[in-house]
Amino acid sequence: MTGVTVASDAAHNWSSQESGNGGGLVVRRAEASYNARIMKTPYGLRVIEDCIACPVMKDRVFCNLPQPALAGLDAISSSATYPKGAVLFVEGQEPRGVFILCNGRVKLFGASAAGKAVIFRIAEPGEIIGLPSTLSSRPYEVTAEALEPTQANFIPREAFLAFLREHGETALRVAEMLSNIYHTTCQEIRYLGLSSSAIGKLARFLLDLKPPKNLPSKELEASGTRVTLTLTHEEIANMIGTSRETVSRLLASFKRKHLIEVHGSTVVINDKEALQELVEI
């Protein structure tokens, strides 16, 4: 991949030499040796060296593309890793291009001059960030900050637009992602506008959290609904339009009433019906 900053020189040279022997050979050797090759990588990330050999490609909306499209994507991408708290782009900045998240999560938020922030959504691996602005040529409408160590592929704006013109299926995936962004934005408006109380907003936030992928259904049924929550109380408050103190107080109340359990970054929702009643208050 062009511009990879985290792979070792030896691994990079190996890929370059093998690429001349046929694309299928590259894929087979890369997949077979992905777990066997151990590299010291920044921030403890499991680095994804290229799109074709990505071990979780099929689980990601944008990345699960035909191999010719993935090869073209690799050719115009440059990969980098970012520590927690790193800013990928800033609200109001002219769009340079898009970032495809390989690992890690990024929060997208807006802030006022007084320092008050609203988190619009959390971008997950496989998502593209900076997409609306790159397509419309308008300034980035949000700031993107890494919530944890993150690997992302950057594609310059003109190269990305040319790629979409050449690959119709990719353009359809982009349309699907824009639809998802629209849905998330509507959800955020609902948090801020339609819930009349902080308790209702927090209950809706918890109900909208998704369980971890590949969790056995028997485990879900036996222990309630398990969801992953790695946001701080401050970040949750910024998402639902309330204060950190209020979030802390309400979560403690939910735990006392056995509506939820908290085990590290895992939240077990024991009583969905009770939370739904709080939403409707």
- Of 106, 189, 190, nearest to 142 (Cα)? 106
Q: Which of 1-15, 77-91, 213-227, 242-256 has the lowest mean pLDDT?
A: 1-15
Question: Is 269:210 a contact under the CB 8 Å cutoff?
Answer: no
Per-residue pLDDT, 18: 38
Per-residue pLDDT, 191: 65
Residue 195 class from Cβ within 10 Å (0-12 exposed, 13-18 middle, 19+ buried)? buried
Q: Where do the domains of the chain lie, and which CATH numbers do they carry?
A: 56-190 (2.60.120.10), 195-279 (1.10.10.10)
pLDDT above 80 for 142: yes
Residue 112 phi/psi, 5-degree rounding, is -95, 170
Question: Is 45:79 a contact under the CB 8 Å cutoff?
Answer: no
Measured in residues, the chain has a length of 281
What is the sign of the dihedral through the CA atoms of 111, 117, 118 and 121? positive
**What tokens were used for 163?**
């790629």
pTM reported for the whole predicted model: 0.69
pLDDT above 70 for 224: no
**What tokens were used for 124?**
């997950």
pLDDT tens-digit profile of 18-61?
A: 344 444 444 444 444 444 343 455 656 566 666 656 655 555 66
SS3 of residue 53 by DSSP: coil
| Ramachandran area for residue 85 (φ above 0: left; ψ -120 to 50: alpha; else beta) | left
Per-residue pLDDT, 90: 96
Per-residue pLDDT, 125: 86
pLDDT tens-digit profile of 163-180?
A: 999 988 888 888 888 888
Question: Is 164:132 a contact under the CB 8 Å cutoff?
Answer: no
SS3 of residue 89 by DSSP: strand
Percent over 70 (pLDDT), the chain: 70
